[in-house]
A and B are shown apart, each in its own frame.
Chain A
């Protein structure tokens, strides 16, 4: 084997190894979900945080007309690996999201659990939802207040 061919071969193998090592990291992540934690209440003056723009239109319609003040408590984007529960950090209580599977290349089957600030489970739900669509969990609280968790995946 000539030196030139050997040099090219070595370089090609090295590059393939580098790229091959990077490949599994990408394959592990199967979807990315965005979470909005929102507090809701009724007040004399309507107010919706500017950071809630993606869901603002939904919050102005039924069944959310009970409230007119919505405040963003936390916002996060998380990559979800298949069947690996991901803790979602919340201001109030805790939540986990688990990607069960991807369906028909465009839908995600997710399991979401929420606990309140006392550690009591509020909801345990598995839903199949199209990428880009929303699932919103609403936990009614005393005093006509609400604790909302909105999520969408892509």
Chain B
């Protein structure tokens, strides 16, 4: 709406039309305000007109909202009518529960998985003090490896020779078994 502010001399007694224009903000404020101070009836009319305007505006806004609500209600009714009626029974209730709480279930599973993964990673070694994280035992760099130790060796029916080899791959223990009935040696 184009705002018209007209500055013109008012007659001595302010007419109702002018009061309505003033109430609607279409007449200059200063001149009318002086007259309204002198005319209490006019002031009451302006107030009444403003109040009536507010009422009309509020009613129109409510009507507009009511139209939207009615449209949405109709949409929901149509959607509900097109959705299949859920099957009854325990399984339907279980799946329905999961459907309704899918977000929470996923959140719970992810959280529990993260906690379990952390627990697996950070857990201390087993009774043998097995390594953490990467594998059952840790492979030391070649330079830090201790030489193999023979704890027990039995070669029934033959003789044995133990040879330790060291190279860039680490240690190699060779256990050479020569049967007694073989003449050739190593």
A interface residue numbers (CB < 8 A to B): 3-4, 7-16, 19-20, 23, 27, 29-32, 57-58, 61, 63, 66, 82, 101-109, 111, 120-142, 144, 153-154
CA distance A123 to B177 in the complex (A): 8
Q: Are B126 and A123 in contact (CB under 8 A)?
A: no
**With A105-B138, A106-B137, A133-B145 as given contacts, are A63 and B169 in contact (CB-CB < 8 Å)?**
no
Question: For B116, what are the chain A residues with a Cβ–Cβ distance below 8 Å?
Answer: 15-16, 19-20
B interface residue numbers (CB < 8 A to A): 97, 101, 104-109, 111-113, 115-116, 120, 125-126, 128-131, 135-140, 142, 145-146, 148-158, 160, 163, 165, 167, 169-179, 182, 184, 186
Question: For A30, what are the chain B residues with a Cβ–Cβ distance below 8 Å?
Answer: 126, 128, 130, 136-137
Q: Are A10 and B108 in contact (CB under 8 A)?
A: yes
**With A31-B136, A106-B140 as given contacts, are A7 and B105 in contact (CB-CB < 8 Å)?**
yes
Q: Are A132 and B139 in contact (CB under 8 A)?
A: yes
Among A108, A124, A132, the residue within 8 A (CB) of B170 is: A132
B121 CB to nearest A CB, Å: 12
B44 CB to nearest A CB, Å: 57
CA distance A83 to B63 in the complex (A): 84
Q: Are A3 and B101 in contact (CB under 8 A)?
A: yes
